[in-house]
Structures are given as structure tokens and as C-alpha cells.
Amino acid sequence: MDRDQVVHILNEIGTLLEIQGENPFKCIAYRNAARALEGLHEDLAALVADGRLQEVKGVGSSIAGKIATLVATGALPYHEELRSQVPPGVLELMRVSGLGPKKARILWLDLGILSLDALEQACRENRLLAHAGFGQKTQENILQGLVQLRSSVGKFLYHVAAERAEKIRLALEANPAVRRVSTAGSLRRRKEIVKDLDLLVATADAPAVMEQFVHLPEVERILAQGPTRSSVVLPGGLQADLRAVSEAEFPFALHYFTGSKEHNTAVRGRARRMGLKLNEYGLHREDGTALPCSDEAALYRALGLAEIPPELREDLGEIESAEQDDLPRLVDEADLRGAFHVHTTWSDGRNSVAEMVAGARARGWRYLGISDHSKSAVYAGGLDQEKLARQQADIDAVARTVPGFRIFKGSEVDILPDGSLDYDEDILSTFDFVVASIHSKFKMTEAEATGRLIRAMENPHVTFLGHPTGRLLLDREGYPVNMHAVIEAAAHLGVAIEINSHPLRLDMDWRLGRFAREKGLRIGIFPDAHEVGGLADVRYGVGIARKAWMRAEDVVNAWELDLVEKWLGRRRSGAGAARPPGDGPPAADDAKKKPARKKG
DNA sequence: GCCGTTTTCGGCCCGACTGTTTTCAGTCG
């Protein structure tokens, strides 16, 4: 049994104990042990073999014994006994927002509810009201939580889908019968949420490729298998479709299956106006003669358009821009020179300052901005003044060991309910940068949330606005914010808004990109990393920034170090909307033909 | 169940919010 499985079981034990009403600290102990294992740098099996498990902080003699059993035998009698005492349906109930162990236990023991369907039924029949702790409002909240939970079924986060798709793509690529292979669909367009995987191959032996595809080890179930198209289900219910075409058809099929539907419709309309017919098999004149294209670039060229990157194919003005050959050169991961918004063990990170810096250097970055949590973020180990001083001394010490690499001292400072910041002037002035974020009191009206964010940005110490809506994809709606007003204020004040690259956040939303560009907003593609591996999440942020039409010059952490230092300095000295030298006015000409579509 | 410059017992991260209560329990981050 590997580490991830052990972590999962320890967490589950914590939950099962909680449902049984065990001492809460005992439950926490199991979760802490799971967390400690997650942050482990060493091989778990080796640790067990050497009898050094108890050296891990959070793992004592009892849990160490259980881990050893799990690693050695793949099972744990204690865990199985707990599972036999609590039906699996109870754990299912706890997935509903607002239902914790206590309420789930009451639903189970007093009402015999063991499924989401039964829970909904009971709410509709007002059967919850008779029980202590349940009122009208609770019942309504549960029904709402059920809607939210079910709406996430059949949807997958980009990073999950991308990882699965890449495995399949590599397997297909290794097949000698496959000439070309690509992902398509919303995944290729880098949407933050995808419903299924679309893959496309060019081959002369489609049946053989289909045979390979449906029998890949990750396939759980075959939905359909034909010579040109097969569909399978992967673990977790993710559906993957593979289509096979000839090499000559490949560019047209790739374009067609990449979409979006709206983009395709617009492109086909354009072809028709030019006396051409475009479909997934080719581009033809009215007399039926084919216009061969070797790739998508040739296809667009044949229609009098510059090649449109997949990320932009949402019919949000990209065709007009391509027609005038003024599509932006989109930011690329290789453009990033560093990053801000990184946590360390000083707050809730899993790696030290030195380790995070080493990770950044290994990526070829020239600078890194450390921002642990501020004092009000107690649950995340926020730093008080004394601890902050020690953290900053630590950063100074690490900085001396990495000449030529710049470490910026900052903080992810909580924006308090009234829009003020969680540190006073004396402390704020010790930072090179400040990421201001909301982490508490999410229930606000749109006016309150918008005012709160803008007031925070008016503080001259604030350089970046962190995850502006607080959303967690497929999990939690963000607070309602008038993002247009926030973007205008940020651009005016010279504050850059973060595109938080954590795959659950990807916040700010890309749909605001055109508007943001028009206003001259600067953005940051920041990892919000809590461990070294989290630095790589910037690739997801880059995908969103590309969908948002962002160029390297719009992205603060794609700037060279000297430019970033100047920019931070100007903001601090109250110069307002500072821009890097040589960077002209916002490129409004290629950003305002079509207003950005509102979120949703 | 874990841990120790508060050290073998007694605290453990804790404040805000919500909905339920009539002084607080449960949930969340």
C-alpha cells in the first residue's frame, strides 16, 4: 500500500471516529498524522522498514503501528472494524455542505437516512424538523447543498482531466499505427472544468487503435467501440472519447472537435461567405474540390485568418482579431521569471523557505515572493509580530546563500470584514509586497464584497489582490463580487490582480480577461504554493491567463527582476498606476472589439 | 492519540458564523 492510500485511510479513521462521537482530539490526531505523511519527503516504505515512523511529528506509537500494518499487509483490522460500525452512506451524507459528523449521525440513527436520495426525500417531507438541532433553515440549506453537490457530478477539474488525458495520449502515441494524436475539446481549450476527454488520432488502421484504446489499463468500462469512434469510462466516471481519422482529415477534425461550438459556427459561417464549405472532414469549394490543409494554421490561412490558439476559441472576438492579424502573443510558462504568493512552514506550508527557494531556482526562476498568512488566519498558522520577525530573519539568512536570486519578503494579509488589513502600518511597511485576500466572513452582499476588496486595494501597501472571488471550483461559489468594478479600481490604483493557479481556484476567472486588458490591468500568475511541488501549478494559471488574452507584458511575474523591483517600488511610493518602462498604454485596440462575456 | 523550554498529565489552533436555542452546538476555514 502506498502513501496516498495510507493517508486516505488515516483521514477516514478520523472521520469515522468523529461520527462515533470519539474524543475530538483523537480524531484530529489521525488527521494530523495523515497530513504529516502527505508532507513527507522520504519513502514511506523505507521509513517503516527502518522503524523510524515515530520520528515523524504527529505519528506516535499507536498510529505508527497502524501505518506499519497498512504498509505491510494492505489492510488494517481497526479500520475495517470502524467501517463495519458506520454504514458508508453516512460518509456520503457528510459530503453535503453544512452536514458534519454530528448531524450525519442523527440522520443515520434517528431517521435511518443512508443516501443522498433518502436525505432529499426526508427534507421534502419535513421529517427533519422533529429532531434536535434541525430547523426549517437547516432543511433548506441541506436541499441547497444537495443541488450544489449534484451539479458537480459529471464535471471534472482541468488538472485531473489533463493528467488522465496525457497518459492516454502517450499510450496512443506509442502505437506504431498512430501517425498523429492530440487531445481536443474543452481540455485543449484549457477550460477550468471539463465534462469529458476528447482525443483524436490520425491512423490508417483505426480498428487496431480502437482496440488498443478500449483495453488501456485505466479503462473501467467500454460504452461504445466502432471503427471511427469509441467511448470509455475511466475511474471516477470520467468519459473519454477517441475518434480516428485519416492523416489528410486530421487538421479539420482537430479543429472541429476542439470547438468551441460557438467558434466553429462562426468559422463555418465565414467559410460559407467565402464560397467554401467546412466540416470535420475537410474544406471544399462549391464545386466539391478539396482545399487540402496540412495543419490548423493552414486551415485558418485558407480562410484569411491568423492561426487562433485553442485557448481563445470561444467566439469572444478572436475571429475578428485573427482577421486583422492582431491576435495577442499569449503568455507562455517559459515567460515566467519568478512568482509571488508562496507559503512556507512558517504558516501552513509544508516546506521551508530554503526549500521553496531551491524549488524556484530549479525552475529557472530569478525571484520568489514569500507570503505566509497574517495573524487573523489562525487556522492557517498566521504570523504574529514576533513570529513574523523570525520569519523575515530566516528569509534574510536564506537570501545570503543564494546570491543573484531575489527573495521578496511579503505576506498574504487577510482583508478584514470592513476592508482594512490584518496588520498595521508599522508591520506592512516591512514588506516588499502584499497579497491581500479574503479568508473569512464570506457571506456578503455584492456591494459589501466589492467595497471590501476596493477598500483593501486603496491601502498603498497592497500590491496584489489574491483570489478575488474566493471560489473553489466544483465545491464553493465565490462571494458575489462586481469584478468589473474591482478590475477598474485595481487598474486605477496600480494593484495587480492574481490569477491564483491552484487548480481548485483558477481565480480570477478568464472570462474577465478582455475587460481587464482593456482597462490596462496587470495580473500575476501566482502558485499559492504550500509545498515545493505546488510551484508547478503555475502551468494551470498560465492556461487561464492565455484564455484571458494575456500577454507576457501584462503579467508582473513574467517581467525581469529589475522591472518588478521598480514596479513594486513605485506602488509603495504612492505613484499610483505604475507601468514598466517601455510598456505603452494598454493595448485597447485589440481588446475592445467585443466586450468580455460576464461570468456564468 | 500526540506531545513536552508548561514534560508523563492535561492541553491540543481557534474565532466566526449559523441556526438553533434561551446560552449553545455544529460546522467551517
Cα dihedral A478→A480→A483→A485 (10° resolution)? -150
Instruction: Provide the grid cell at A384.
Output: 504574529
CATH 1.10.3660.10 assigned to A333-572 = no
- Which residues in 451-510 of chain A line strand B, with CB less than 7 A from it? 472, 476
> What does the DSSP 8-state code read for residue A440?
S
Map residue A384 onto helix, strand or coil: coil
CATH class of A3-151: mainly alpha
| pLDDT at A238 (0 to 100) | 85
Q: Which of A344, A325, A444 is nearest to A390 (CA)?
A: A344
- Which residues in 371-390 of chain A line strand B, with CB less than 7 A from it? 378-379, 381
Task: Choose between A581 and A199: higher pLDDT.
Answer: A199
pTM equals 0.80
Predicted confidence (pLDDT) per residue in A367-404, tens digit:
999 999 999 888 788 999 999 999 999 999 999 999 99
Round to a whole number and report the distance in Å from the CA of A394 to the C1' of B13.
23
| pLDDT at A181 (0 to 100) | 94
Q: Which of A343, A357, A351 is nearest to A39 (CA)?
A: A351
Exposed, middle or buried by CB within 10 Å (0-12, 13-18, 19+), for A274?
middle
- Closest residue by Cα to the C1' atom of nucleotide B15? A378
Percentage, residues of chain A above pLDDT 70: 95
Instruction: Provide the grid cell at A549.
Output: 488574452
| pLDDT at A593 (0 to 100) | 38
Res. A434 pLDDT band, cuts 50 70 90 = very high
User: Which segment of A166-180, A259-273, A362-376, A461-475 scores lowest on mean pLDDT?
Assistant: A259-273
Round to a whole number and report the distance in Å from the CA of A186 to the C1' of B21.
49
Residues 6+ positions from A80 with CB-CB distance below 8 Å: none
Q: Which of A567, A558, A479 is nearest to A526 (CA)?
A: A558
CA distance A351 to A429: 26
Return the residue matching grid coordinates 476588496: A453
Please check the confidence at residue A600 and state whether its pLDDT lies above 70: no
Predicted confidence (pLDDT) per residue in A68-79, tens digit:
999 999 999 999
Query: Using the CA of A379, which nucleotide's C1' is the nearest one?
Result: B13
Q: What is the CA radius of gyration of chain A?
A: 27
Please check the confidence at residue A424 and state whether its pLDDT lies above 70: yes
The one-letter code for the residue type at A360 is: A
Which DSSP string corresponds to A106-126? Answer: HHHHHH---SHHHHHHHHHTT
Sheet holding A433-437, edge to edge: A338-342, A367-373, A406-414, A433-437, A464-465, A496-500, A523-526
Instruction: Provide the grid cell at A261.
Output: 461550438
Q: Which of A406, A336, A372, A405 is nearest to A530 (CA)?
A: A372
Q: Mean of the pLDDT values across residues A56-71?
A: 91
CA distance A48 to A63: 12
Answer yes or no: is A138 CB < 7 A from strand B: yes
Map residue A550 onto helix, strand or coil: coil
| pLDDT at A586 (0 to 100) | 39
Predicted confidence (pLDDT) per residue in A295-333, tens digit:
999 999 999 999 999 999 988 889 989 999 999 999 999
Residues 6+ positions from A122 with CB-CB distance below 8 Å: A107, A111, A113, A128
Which DSSP string corresponds to A147-214? Answer: HHHHHTTT-EEHHHHHHHHHHHHHHHHTSTTEEEEEEEHHHHTT-SEESEEEEEEEES-HHHHHHHHH
Q: Mean of the pLDDT values across residues A165-183?
A: 94
Res. A154 pLDDT band, cuts 50 70 90 = confident
Round to a whole number and report the distance in Å from the CA of A133 to the C1' of B19.
8
Answer yes or no: is A362 CB < 7 A from strand B: no
Res. A575 pLDDT band, cuts 50 70 90 = low
- Which residues in 12-71 of chain A line strand B, with CB less than 7 A from it? 23, 25-26, 28-30, 32-33, 54, 56-64
Q: A9 near A79, Cβ under 8 Å? A: yes
Please check the confidence at residue A530 and state whether its pLDDT lies above 50: yes
Question: Which is it for strands A464-465 and A433-437: parallel, antiparallel or unpaired?
Answer: parallel
Please check the confidence at residue A226 and state whether its pLDDT lies above 90: no
Instruction: Provide the grid cell at A296.
Output: 490548423
Answer yes or no: is A440 CB < 7 A from strand B: yes
Please check the confidence at residue A466 and state whether its pLDDT lies above 60: yes
Query: Using the CA of A134, which nucleotide's C1' is the nearest one?
Result: B20
CA distance A526 to A503: 12
Round to a whole number and report the distance in Å from the CA of A132 to the C1' of B5.
46
Map residue A134 onto helix, strand or coil: coil
| pLDDT at A494 (0 to 100) | 95
Phi-psi bin for A412: left (phi > 0), alpha (psi -120 to 50), beta?
A: beta
Res. A58 pLDDT band, cuts 50 70 90 = confident
Q: A331 near A551, Cβ under 8 Å? A: yes
The one-letter code for the residue type at A296 is: E
* Average pLDDT in chain A: 89
Res. A23 pLDDT band, cuts 50 70 90 = confident
CA distance A168 to A405: 39
Q: Phi, psi at residue A187, to the nearest 5°?
A: -65, -45
Helix (H) or strand (E) holding A253: helix A250-258
CA distance A90 to A106: 10
Exposed, middle or buried by CB within 10 Å (0-12, 13-18, 19+), for A258?
buried
Please check the confidence at residue A527 and state whether its pLDDT lies above 70: yes
Please check the confidence at residue A486 and state whether its pLDDT lies above 50: yes
Could you tell me how far CA A272 lies from the centroid of its own chain? 39
Most confident of the following: A140-154, A260-274, A462-476: A462-476
CATH class of A157-323: alpha beta
Res. A237 pLDDT band, cuts 50 70 90 = confident
Please check the confidence at residue A589 and state whether its pLDDT lies above 50: no
| pLDDT at A580 (0 to 100) | 46
Q: Mean of the pLDDT values across residues A152-181?
A: 91
Query: Using the CA of A103, which nucleotide's C1' is the nearest one?
Result: B26
Predicted confidence (pLDDT) per residue in A254-293, tens digit:
999 998 888 888 898 888 888 888 888 889 888 888 899 9
Query: Using the CA of A30, which nucleotide's C1' is the nearest one?
Result: B1
Q: A380 near A348, Cβ under 8 Å? A: yes
Q: A115 near A129, Cβ under 8 Å? A: no
Answer yes or no: is A142 CB < 7 A from strand B: no
Answer yes or no: is A99 CB < 7 A from strand B: yes
Round to a whole number and report the distance in Å from the CA of A501 to the C1' of B29.
20
Q: Which of A565, A361, A559, A554 is nearest to A463 (CA)?
A: A565
Q: Mean of the pLDDT values across residues A447-474?
A: 94
Q: A473 near A501, Cβ under 8 Å? A: no
Predicted confidence (pLDDT) per residue in A438-447, tens digit:
998 888 888 9
Map residue A580 onto helix, strand or coil: coil
Residue spans of the domains in chain A: they are: 3-151, 157-323, 333-572
Could you tell me how far CA A257 lies from the centroid of its own chain? 24
Extract the runs of DSSP E, i.e. beta strands, from A466-562.
496-500, 523-526
Answer yes or no: is A98 CB < 7 A from strand B: yes
Q: Which of A345, A383, A342, A388 is nearest to A361 (CA)?
A: A342
CA distance A50 to A67: 13
For chain A, give percent helix, strand, coil, nearest 5. Answer: 45, 15, 35
Res. A599 pLDDT band, cuts 50 70 90 = very low
| pLDDT at A596 (0 to 100) | 38
Res. A574 pLDDT band, cuts 50 70 90 = low
Beta bridge partner(s), residue A369: A408
| pLDDT at A591 (0 to 100) | 38
